[in-house]
Amino acid sequence: MARTTSLSGFTEWLPEERLVELHVLDTLREVFERHGFASIESRAVETIDTLLQKGEIDKEIYAVSRLQEEEGREARLALHFDLTVPFARYVVENAGHLDFPFRRYQIQKVWRGERPQDGRYREFTQADIDLVGDGALPFRSDVEIGVVMAKALEALPIGDFMLRVNNRKLSEGFYRSIGLTDTTAVLRAIDKLEKIGAEKVSEELVSSGAATTEQAHQALELAQIRATDTSFVAAVRALLGSVEADELLEAGLAELEEVVAELNKRVPGRVTADLSIARGLDYYTGTVYETVLIGHESLGSVCSGGRYESLASKGKRTFPGVGLSIGVTRLISRILAEGGLSASRKVPAAVFVAMRSDEDWGAAQDVADALRGRGINVEVALKAEKFGKQIRHADRRGIPYVWFTEDDGAHEVKDIRTGAQAPADPASWTPPAEDALPRIVESATD
């Protein structure tokens, strides 16, 4: 795991840890692109007004200004705290150049001024995918986004995981059915359930006037419903009893039933209907997802998101969408902390070219150029030292092969793991495929 840095909440990986991160990012890119998602990158800053339009996290926003800035000359700027709000602005500004439905993935740093703790950072990398429509977006997009993210997570050696899914229409419709009017306040309270527990959530609902004691009890009973199939529908109806179901509840039940049924077909064993999932941000309007690593539930959600009908608009045009976001830094920090993944070496180089004397540096570079020309990563010694010392240097970095050039111009390459040494030609020698690049291995099984 990376060392504690001088600024809390900001990670700085060691080279071998960075290789694990790059492996994760490359894998995500590959899966996203295989499913038709195009990459974009938005600017790191937004106007403060833009960032405050959705949700209430003003205490977490990092403002940006020039040291000699003249007050009032320009809009106040801040670092983006997620990639969804900037994406909404991006869609509005570029709508005339995008083809809808628009599939986008985005992997960038974000900044959030919250209290650093296990799995929570002030600067971290997110990987988002979104499907956005112009005016309308078929509901099956809610299924597709879940399938793609499940496929992406399955491609990573992170162990077992579960997509926990709910629908805010279902929750809000249920609250309306039992007489609750401030459904947003109830959703925000339920969103804290795993952090503060049922008793404190109930106290918050009652003390704020959002619910009576009986209504708070019913809302918490709804949040206890779990199912890996569509049986949750019957459980919700049983909880309502003789109370007439609100139309919004019926819509939410139907949508969540479809999502759970389809995900069980496409990615079996990866979905649970969990009616405690609420998501705190205001822009979610339907399907909501959270994802936990089995056995590491205390880490919280490593991937979350959902459906939004009105995040972005331009005049009379609206751009509904659905998206999911992986907290890449959170995921990698836990993997590294528990030794789940590691790199087979610290550096990309597969070959270290040793030197007999400092006069051999040019010849060593010629060897390296010949190897690099065929796609082999090579490091060349900077000075001539005893071969034993040069070999130890390569070994410490995990470089598997050391290249020697004899006085007569002959070449030999040594596998320093086994001690095997053999003649080699820079114009044709190639390392085995498994040694060409650092491998990312599961420490528990490799």
- What is the three-state SS of 62-107? CEECCCCCCCCCCCCEEECCCCHHHHHHHHHHHHHHCCCCEEEEEE
CA-nearest of 441, 438, 409, 439 to 426 is: 409
Which secondary-structure segment (H or E) carries 50? helix 48-51
Residues 6+ apart with CB under 8 A from 446: none
Whether 446 has a binding-site annotation, put simply, is: no
Whether 284 has a binding-site annotation, put simply, is: yes
The Cα 165–Cα 1 span in angstroms is 31
CB distance 367 to 353 below 8 Å:
yes
CB distance 82 to 110 below 8 Å:
yes
Whether 126 has a binding-site annotation, put simply, is: yes
The Cα 111–Cα 302 span in angstroms is 17
Q: What is the DSSP string of 368-380?
A: HHHHHTTT--EEE
The Cα 274–Cα 316 span in angstroms is 35
How far the first Cα of the chain sits from its last, in Å, is 19
* Structural tokens at position 149: 């993210």
* DSSP 8-class letter at 5: P
Q: Which residues pair with 326 in a beta bridge?
A: 127, 303
Whether 83 has a binding-site annotation, put simply, is: yes
Distances (CA, A) of 21 to 12, 124, 276, 337: 11, 12, 31, 13
The Cα 199–Cα 192 span in angstroms is 11
Neighbour tally for 277: CB within 10 Å: 25
Whether 130 has a binding-site annotation, put simply, is: yes
Whether 82 has a binding-site annotation, put simply, is: yes
Whether 112 has a binding-site annotation, put simply, is: yes
Which residues belong to the annotated binding site for L-histidine?
A: 82-84, 112, 126, 130, 279, 283-284
Which residues belong to the annotated binding site?
A: 82-84, 112, 126, 130, 279, 283-284
